[in-house]
Structure 1
């Protein structure tokens, strides 16, 4: 197995892979041995890590957060619901996608998916909350943050 380029993919790249709109952001990779479980398919926990990696790349690529400035938003994953539809196996190529679905006052809903070719393998919905620096309470989304979220 060779290392893969995990540079973000945009809409036209995804369309070429058979992944339809409204998915406009994704990261391609392939299943590694360390991600397998005793049944020789991808362990459920690996998908959560894949979703996190894509979510962070999505945030950075869309201006939601660059994770470097002192004044960046403090974003936490409040909830994630995952629907497993088909297994992936060692060496399978896949694309993890991310998109924003609904913006609220202090949080927003993101949808994510894993595609094997053009077939949906796993889908997820998660709630991201903007919290105070100490993490003790939700904070309203700023106009700049809402603009970055809605631009995607």
Structure 2
């Protein structure tokens, strides 16, 4: 992430993937606040983009990530038409699972929402856990700064 973007949103740390977004009316409640479900949908979009960019696929025959648990913290309210930055990174990984961290910052406004998801890689054909391949593990460590857990 370039320094100007990091400074504009007040982002700290290493993030593997990010994108800017303008909050749409469909993502808000009647008070023009970002709806809590919209945060999760936007973070899900980031998870899918991360998985595809890391060489994963989505098909009935291929392994894919399933959310095992999710923790969300709402720091500040976001509003209709806010310019926000969404980011995702892998914090850690094991043989068949990984932990993603998500953040949403408002330009010149700070962190609005953060989340942590434990994702388990499942073989969709069998329903069993599947190993994360070495190329993806390497990407998690090198690009995202993830730590391998035992």
Deviation string, structure 1 residues 78-132 (Cα, Å, up to 9, x no partner): 2111100111111110011101101112101011100012511100000111112
The residue aligned with 1:151 is: 142
| TM-score for the superposition, normalised by structure 1 | 0.80
The residue aligned with 1:123 is: 114
Q: 1:50 to 1:33 in 2, by over 3 A?
A: same
Contact 1:106–1:139 (CA<8 Å) still a contact in 2? Answer: yes
Count, aligned residues: 141
Alignment of 1:84 with 2:98, yes or no, is no
Alignment of 1:31-50 (within 5 A): 31-50=23-42
Alignment of 1:41-60 (within 5 A): 41-60=33-52
Q: Which has the higher contact order (CA 8 A, sep 6+)?
A: 2
1:53 Cα deviation from its structure 2 partner: 1.1
| TM-score for the superposition, normalised by structure 2 | 0.81
- CA–CA separation in structure 1 for the residues paired with 2:73 and 2:32: 19
Give 5+ residue unaligned stretches, structure 2: 144-150
